[in-house]
Structure formats: structure tokens, C-alpha cells
Amino acid sequence: MTSSSAPAPAPSGAPQPSGPLRRLTARGRDEAHRVASPLELFFDLCFVVAIAQAGVQLVHSVAAGHAGEGILNYAMAFFAIWWAWMNFSWFASAYDNDDALYRVVTLVQIAGVLVLAAGISRAATHHDFLLVWLGYLIMRLAMAWQWLRAARSATGGERTAALRYAYGVLLCQVGWLGLVLLPEPARPWVFLVMAVAELSVPLYAEKAQETSWHPRHIAERYGLFTIIVLGETIAAATVAVKSGADEHDALGELLPIAAGGLLIVFSAWWIYFVVPIHGHLRSSRRAFVWGYGHYFVFASAAAIGAGLEVAVEQAVGKAHISALSASAAVTLPTALYLLTVWALHSRHFKVGLAQQLVLPVTALLVICCTFLREWAVLAAGLVSSAAVAVGAALTVRTAARDRGTGATAPAG
């Protein structure tokens, strides 16, 4: 990750395929045509398995009327998933040399997330975090190894930064043992303290020297993961609607949920990708906030799918909660998604008060849709779609006005 210190020069050009083992040296920010590798895409797909398991447990908790406990467990599990994914993504942007050892260690990280995914259910239902901790340990040991390998090839501030990363990762992993060893009432506090500690490691490490992450590559990596999470949301909602229609013959009750959910996801995709965010990431301080803020983007996007499943279960009588609560399970994460995407993306590219207010006002209207109960999801979908249309119209009008005055309109 990054800090606000000035970047040091890094070598340019992609790593040369000169053998199965190569030095793990920094890549350059000026590389042309830098894109996500097949290994990175595979890495993302495997992480979605863990996200799906976290979503399943959130559905069970909310549908059973234990929303508070379910949200806390979901937030904790999702942090472990997101943090391991994010650390790998920024490291790979700076150091991916694609040799055999790098690939093997990355596959070990994938194995770790699968172990973590296997333990999410037991952590949520029995408050047993041993398997989750073990999976996270596998991922983090592999990440520490990568940093130590980078440190071996580096000198000066770059070597110091790599060693700080490696030792920080290892020390934090020891702290996470509190989730396994301490009594249950203390575990939320352990999570809070250790989450802050984990977030502090990159800030401390990169005071020595920034890593040479690639803005376009990072923007693409986050965008691809957003697509995958939204795809998982559609898949989960589709399965829930199909199951409800097959088992309860309640197609009439489910069609508004299905239509509204689809409109929400389509709008979520459109809103995220309407602006060229890589240009905003040229500033390290901005990139720092942007990268961390995506915890809420990813978590809320995945929670929309869980909320749609809850709405389906309530519609067919399987969930022991009110229609208002089921509606809130969809509208609240949708509103959070809209607000965080606006805060991280859209507001930097909007001109004038009208454009700036579109997404915040939409988020407020989506929350108000909660009180429509059975029609809340469809209403939220229509409101989200209307926001896309209004935003596009305002952008076209601004561009036309700028062409008339000879000014250059910003993207978005």
C-alpha cells in the first residue's frame, strides 16, 4: 500500500522471462499496457468463494432475526478476506515477476483463503475461529515470504520498507491469536485493535520508501474484483429466486424482488465504472484513502446479494422477520455502496452542485424505499436506475455547455 512520502524511482519495464527463478525486483510505474495477469484473475475468483461463505452466514443470521450479530461476524470475516486480497494486489502491482516461486507462493495464498472460507460457517455459528485463523495464517505467512524475498533483492529505503512489511505482517498474525485464545466477550475488541494494527503496517512501512505500484494496474484490479463481487451477488440472488419459485410457487411475490435486484446491480456496475479513476490515483495520499475505502465498497456490494436472499426468504415465509427488516437488508447496503462509490470515485469528477448531489440524494431515497416493504427492492432498483439516467443527462448537458464555451469537460 502507500503513504504520503515521495515515490523513489523504480526500474521500468515488465520482468523478463529469463528462467524459472528470477530476482524479485520492483517494477516501474511507467510500464505501458500493464494489465492483470491470469494468475491475478484466478486469485480473485478463488477469493469469491470466501465472500460467498460470508454472505451465506449473513443471510442466515439476518433471516433468523439476529442482524446485529450477523453483521459483526460478516464484518470480521470480510476484513480478513479483503485485507489479504488487497495486500497481495498492491504487492503484485509493484513486484510481480511471474517466476515459478512467485506463482507457487501465490497458489499457497489461494489455499489459505479456501481454508478460511471453510471455517467461516463454524466461526459464525459456534464462535470457533481456529480454522479461520489457520487459513489467514497460511495467507499471511505466504505474504511475509514474498516481502522477505523482495527485501533480499532490494537496498536502502526499499529494503527497509519490505522488511517492515514482512515483520509487521508476522507480528499482527500473532495478535490475531486472541480470536482463538481469549474469551468470547473480548473478541470484538481483539478484532478492533488488530484491524487498526493491520491498517497501520503499510503506513509505517512506506515511510521508508513507497512501493512502485502501477495506477492503471491497481485501478483495473479493483475494478475486476468489483465485477466479480457483483457477479456473485447476481448468482446468489438468482439461486434464491429460483429456489423460492420452485419450492413455494411464489413467482408473483418474487418477480418484483428479482427485477429490483437486477436493476440495483446493473446500476451499481454503471456508477462504479463511469469515471476513469486511475488518474486520481497519481497521488499517494489519495490512493491510500481510496484503497482502504474499498472495504466498504466490496462489503456492501456483497451484502446486497445477501439482502436479496433475505428478501426472497421473507417473501416465501422462510425468514422469521418483518417485511420492513427484509427490505432494510437490501436498501441499507445499497445506500452504503452508493455513498462510498461517490466518496471514493464520483465526487472527484463531478462539476456543479447538481452532479455532486445525485448519488447522495439517491442513497437517501433508497433508504426511504425501505418503508415500501414488499415493493422496496423494486423501488430501490428504479431509484438507482433513475440516478444513472440523471447522472448521464447532467454529464451530457455539461459537456455540451463546455463545447459551446470551448472548455474541457471532465470525465464522468
- Spell 155-166 as b/e; 16+ CB within 10 A means b: eeebbbbbbbbb
For residue 14, the model assigns a pLDDT of: 47
* DSSP 3-state percent helix, strand, coil across the chain (nearest 5): 80, 0, 20
pLDDT classification of 8: cutoffs 50, 70, 90: very low
Single-letter amino acid code for the residue at 396: V
- Spell 360-395 as b/e; 16+ CB within 10 A means b: bebbebbbebbebbbbbbbbbbbbbbebbebbeebb
Q: Which range has the top average pLDDT, 1-5, 86-90, 404-408?
A: 86-90
What is the residue-wise DSSP string for 378-408?
Answer: HHHHHHHHHHHHHHHHHHHHHHHHHHHHTPP
Task: Identify the residue with better confidence: 41 or 244.
Answer: 41
Residue 23 has pLDDT above 80, yes or no: yes
Residue 78 has pLDDT above 70, yes or no: yes
CA dist 334 and 271 (Å) reads 12
Catalogue all structural domains in the chain, each as residue range(s) with its CATH number: 38-213 (no CATH), 216-405 (1.20.1410)
- Give the alpha-carbon dihedral of 303, 217, 114, 48, to 10 degrees: 30
Give the helix/strand (H/E) hosting 157. helix 156-175
Q: Name the nearest CA neighbour of 134 among 99, 179, 165.
A: 179
Dihedral sign (CA 30, 34, 39, 45): positive
pLDDT classification of 251: cutoffs 50, 70, 90: confident
Helix (H, G, I), strand (E, B) or coil at 316: coil
Q: How many CA atoms lie within 13 A of 107 on its CB side?
A: 8
Under DSSP, the state recorded for 155 is: -
Task: Identify the residue with better confidence: 18 or 287.
Answer: 287
pLDDT in tens, 258-297: 899 999 999 999 999 887 776 667 666 778 888 899 999 9
Averaged pLDDT, 394-411: 57
For residue 125, the model assigns a pLDDT of: 85
Residue with cell 476484513: 79
Q: Name the nearest CA neighbour of 28 among 182, 180, 272, 216.
A: 216
For residue 405, the model assigns a pLDDT of: 57
Residue 163 C-alpha cell reads as 522488511
